[in-house]
Amino acid sequence: MKIISVVNQKGGCGKTISAVNLSAALSKKGFKTLLIDLDPQAHATFALRKESVFNITDILEKIAKNESLPEATLYQSVSENFYFIGSRIGLAALEHKFSQRDDRLDILSLFLKAVSADFDYCILDCPPNLGLITLNALQASEYSLIPLSICDFSLRGVEILKDIIIMLKEFKGKTPICFYLLNQLDKRSRFALNFIQRVKEQLGSLLLNTAVRSNVHLKEAAANGKNIFDYMPDSRGAEDFTALAQEILNITSGKAWTQLFLKGEKVDNVYVIGDFNNWQKQESYKLRKIGEDIWTLNIPLEKGKYRYKFLAGGAWITDPHNKLSEDDSYGGKNSLIIIE
């Protein structure tokens, strides 16, 4: 089961509509998909008008207490291949209950491992904050989809999120591979056109090719308790989410991905150079600057062992966020990536 968290601490950027309709689109393509509402405000639960016999609050409490779960009542069926677990306001109190536990970041992962054989994809609709529930989602996820509305506040949310993801990598040794989605796209204003150009220049290949255009039918579908395919299957909203699902399938099938970071205000023009590019400086391996002091890049790799370093402003730098390394032939260290 491939797990994708839909996250941005900025509210109003379309996380829930993206999570609901991406889940529906994947299910339409024949993939058994589970959507979990992790927002105490329960927007996805409202958007689908589905309330599970066991919501995610009940489930996480039982997992934390090592209690068994009744399999027959865990999920609500939305449509063929599309299943759902709802939320409620009590989820907010759960963060406080779990805050002192040593395994506080792994409780959701325990549940998802238990159901991983039942689904092809799991989509996590995260709350608009970077609290314990969102950290659980990031820790459990292989990938993160970050919707960006045409607003600089959504980019500011990305900067803060990247700091959290770097912290997770250093603390837990793994992070989700992040991709960005332009959402609620409307090109009629000069500001929107300028914003889109800035985002493309800043994010490069981190930005998905698919964009979700502004479409009133997406909001109408949520207001009527339906996904876009059940409400208006011929709309451009359905068209966009079909394209998004296909791009997600392409990304999550085949090669494994590695996400690299370098944090520092005094570095510039950062490249990653290693076995995967014959130790040659190449523009396709240039890290993108996310925020004031964070550089990042996603690299697709086959199984194997890879040595690498960063090249920043003429200086060679061992990856400070990767504990795996080995001696190089010059008395220094190469960082290591091992894809199994």
State the chain's mean pLDDT as an integer.
90
Residues 269 and 331 in one domain: yes
**Phi, psi (rounded to 5 degrees) for 104:** -60, -25
Percentage with pLDDT > 90 across the chain: 58
Residues 245 and 262 in one domain: no
The pTM for the full model equals: 0.93
Tens of pLDDT, residues 89-101: 888 888 888 878 8
More confident residue, 199 or 6: 6
pLDDT of residue 102 exceeding 80 = yes
Runs of H (alpha helix) within 65-151: 91-98, 107-115, 132-140
Q: Which of 25-34, 96-105, 170-179 has the highest mean pLDDT?
A: 25-34
Residues 157 and 260 in one domain: no
Tell which of 234, 252, 270 closes a domain.
252
Residues 295 and 271 in one domain: yes
pLDDT of residue 264 exceeding 90 = no
Cα 179 from chain centroid?
Answer: 7
How high is the pLDDT of residue 72?
A: 65
pLDDT of residue 12 exceeding 80 = no
Residues 18 and 90 in one domain: yes
Residues 261 and 122 in one domain: no
The model's confidence at residue 265, banded by pLDDT at 50, 70 and 90, is: low
> What's the whole-number mean pLDDT along residues 275-295?
91
- Distance CA(277)–CA(65), nearest Å, equals 48
Residues 139 and 264 in one domain: no
Residues 150 and 6 in one domain: yes
How high is the pLDDT of residue 254?
A: 79
Q: Check which CATH number belongs to the domain holding 71 and give it.
A: 3.40.50.300
Q: Say what the alpha-carbon torsion angle 62, 68, 71, 74 is, to the nearest 10 degrees.
A: 0
- Distance CA(176)–CA(16), nearest Å, equals 19
Residues 220 and 335 in one domain: no
Count other Cβ atoms within 10 Å, centred on residue 227.
Answer: 29
Which segment of 37-41, 47-51, 257-261 scores lowest on mean pLDDT?
A: 47-51
Tens of pLDDT, residues 186-205: 888 888 888 888 888 888 88
Tens of pLDDT, residues 199-225: 888 888 899 999 999 889 999 999 999
> What's the whole-number mean pLDDT along residues 15-37?
97
**Number of compact structural domains in the chain:** 2
How high is the pLDDT of residue 309?
A: 96
Tell which of 202, 235, 252 closes a domain.
252
Residues 225 and 205 in one domain: yes
Residues 44 and 157 in one domain: yes
Residues 64 and 83 in one domain: yes
* Domain range for 297: 256-339
CB contact set of 150 (below 8 Å; sequence gap of 6+): 182, 184, 185, 186, 191, 192, 195, 196
> What's the whole-number mean pLDDT along residues 248-261?
91
- Distance CA(311)–CA(317), nearest Å, equals 6
Q: Check which CATH number belongs to the domain holding 314 and give it.
A: 2.60.40.10
How high is the pLDDT of residue 10?
A: 75
pLDDT of residue 52 exceeding 80 = no
The model's confidence at residue 86, banded by pLDDT at 50, 70 and 90, is: very high
CB contact set of 69 (below 8 Å; sequence gap of 6+): 54, 59, 62, 63, 114
Tell which of 218, 233, 252 closes a domain.
252
Q: For the stretch 167-185, what's the b/e string if a residue is b when 16 or more beta carbons lie within 10 angstroms of its beta carbon? A: ebbeeeeebbbbbbbbbbb
How high is the pLDDT of residue 198?
A: 87
